């Protein structure tokens, strides 16, 4: 009877027992692996689709002024939409929820794959950028870094200017989306991505429209206002002019930018997570308060320094200092007519320190993050992964700076560029500026900066997170 029941039950399932046939072991491990990667492939395809749609919008902008680049954007859009659609359809039905490990793999795939497609129209279009230059521009856009390989921004076609801002805006949305998926409480699923993404999209679009309205009321044209709003909320810092916001020479524009940049550095993704625990929300509020307090103290300190050393009146000095602090701490990197502050030793040291710290975890800002700095203060017991992330970040910063110096850059320029690239902000030194960024870099430095920008957005968290199965934030 036992033998009959065993025969009726069918063959025993494959196991990983030692000594089994190699092909059975391979099949037993390949199936779970493929099942685990299927949701990652599906969501990667979904993330490619908005990129392809954005290319069509850019093609429409070029077509409206009869610029021939619309053809390059249409062709690149077709390739991107086809690839995204094939991935999404091939892995449809694999589930909408992502485990912690799958969310990290998705983040890794997004930062490595999306820039390759985003660079296509820059290679196909009239600019005919070399692969390295096109990839640097795409990586800078999607990682919301204000480096660029382009020059003479005031005379570029509107489609290229729109594409640069759209890349940064989409990159900011990607940062918030991935932060929401990855920063799930330990032991819990990341939640329904569509629900989470819709909540983030609504808040992100609303804030962008409000910022654009502010710029428009401050005196910008509609095109400039929209593009600068996208660069502000994404903390990307790309402008439509060589002089960045200094082109407008408007205190009102600078005030709108200060508010938008500081807002973009707050932990919006954590505060928007309905599934976030009370402790996580309390920590986000603490980090946000410290971030704003740090901006206020630094602005007051630099303003008093300007009053004493430069003889400025207090309010103009406070406006100059506030703009530079907001642009640096939020890692946005906008420049204004007060950019000379970055060439004075004491203010430059303060701004470099702020650029290294950056914004909050769960914001579009880059840098080491206020949360991790808080976790290392005396009286707190540092979390192991946070210590590892901080140590890895500082070691990477030293390595990038040493590499740039070895490639021929001066020590201060190397340090400034390393902080700007790894922190996804801008170079603050006397040579590397928010606009020039990487246009002066040679081939070796260009690829080093590309790797640094990507590593900055991965924050070295993914390596730890893949090992431990949970994020190392804060």
Residue ranges per structural domain of the chain: 34-468
**Confidence (pLDDT) at 301:** 94
**Confidence (pLDDT) at 386:** 65
**Confidence (pLDDT) at 203:** 86
pLDDT less than 70: residues of the chain: 1-36, 93-97, 100, 181-197, 269-281, 338-343, 378-386, 427-442, 459-474
Question: By C-alpha distance, which of 472, 237, 247 is closest to 366?
Answer: 237
d(CA 24, CA 390): 43
- For residue 10, what are the contacts with CB-CB under 8 A and spacing of at least 6? none
**Confidence (pLDDT) at 280:** 60
**Confidence (pLDDT) at 85:** 94
Give this prediction's pTM. 0.84
**The two structure tokens encoding residue 459:** 């924050």
**Confidence (pLDDT) at 409:** 82
**The two structure tokens encoding residue 453:** 């920008």
**Residue 5: burial class (beta carbons within 10 Å; 0-12, 13-18, 19+):** exposed
**The two structure tokens encoding residue 167:** 């890349």
């Amino acid at each position: 009877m036992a033998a009959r029941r065993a025969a009726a039950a069918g063959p025993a399932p494959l196991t990983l027992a030692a000594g089994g046939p190699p092909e059975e072991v391979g099949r037993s491990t390949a199936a779970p692996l493929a099942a685990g990667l299927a949701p990652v492939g599906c969501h990667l395809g979904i993330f490619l689709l908005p990129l392809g749609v954005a290319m069509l919008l850019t093609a429409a902008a070029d077509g409206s002024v009869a610029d021939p680049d619309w053809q390059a954007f249409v062709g690149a859009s077709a390739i991107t939409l086809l690839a995204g659609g094939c991935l999404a359809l091939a892995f449809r039905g694999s589930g909408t929820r992502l485990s912690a490990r799958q969310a990290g793999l998705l983040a890794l795939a997004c930062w490595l794959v999306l820039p390759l497609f985003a660079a296509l129209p820059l290679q196909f279009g009239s600019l005919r950028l070399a692969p390295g230059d096109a990839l640097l521009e795409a990586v800078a856009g999607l990682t919301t870094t204000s480096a660029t390989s382009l020059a003479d921004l005031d005379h570029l076609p509107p489609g290229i200017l729109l594409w640069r801002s759209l890349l940064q805006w989409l990159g900011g949305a990607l940062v918030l989306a991935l932060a929401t998926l990855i920063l799930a409480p330990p032991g819990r699923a990341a939640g329904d991505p569509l629900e989470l993404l819709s909540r983030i999209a609504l808040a992100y679009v609303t804030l962008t429209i409000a910022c654009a309205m502010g710029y428009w009321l401050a005196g910008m044209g509609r095109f400039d206002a929209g593009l600068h709003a996208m660069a502000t909320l994404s903390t990307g810092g790309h402008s439509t002019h060589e002089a960045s916001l200094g082109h407008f020479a408007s205190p009102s524009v600078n005030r709108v930018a200060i508010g938008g940049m500081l807002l973009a550095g707050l932990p919006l993704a954590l505060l928007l997570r309905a599934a976030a625990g009370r402790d996580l929300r309390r920590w986000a509020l603490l980090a946000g308060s410290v971030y704003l307090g740090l901006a206020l103290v630094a602005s007051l300190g630099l303003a008093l320094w300007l009053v004493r050393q430069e003889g400025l009146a207090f309010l103009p000095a406070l406006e100059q200092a506030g703009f530079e602090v907001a642009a640096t701490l939020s890692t946005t990197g906008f420049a204004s007519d007060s950019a000379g502050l970055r060439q004075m030793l004491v203010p430059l040291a303060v701004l470099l320190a702020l650029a290294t710290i950056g914004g909050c975890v769960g914001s579009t800002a880059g840098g080491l993050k206020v949360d991790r700095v808080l976790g290392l203060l005396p009286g707190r017991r540092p979390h192991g992964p946070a210590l590892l992330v901080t140590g890895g970040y500082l070691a990477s910063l030293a390595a990038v700076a040493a590499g740039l110096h070895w490639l021929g850059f001066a020590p201060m320029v190397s340090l400034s560029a390393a902080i700007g690239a790894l922190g996804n902000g801008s170079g603050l030194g006397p040579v590397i500026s928010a606009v020039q960024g990487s246009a002066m870099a040679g081939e070796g430095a260009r690829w080093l900066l590309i790797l640094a920008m990507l590593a900055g957005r991965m924050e070295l968290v993914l390596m730890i997170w893949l090992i431990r199965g949970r994020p190392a934030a804060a």
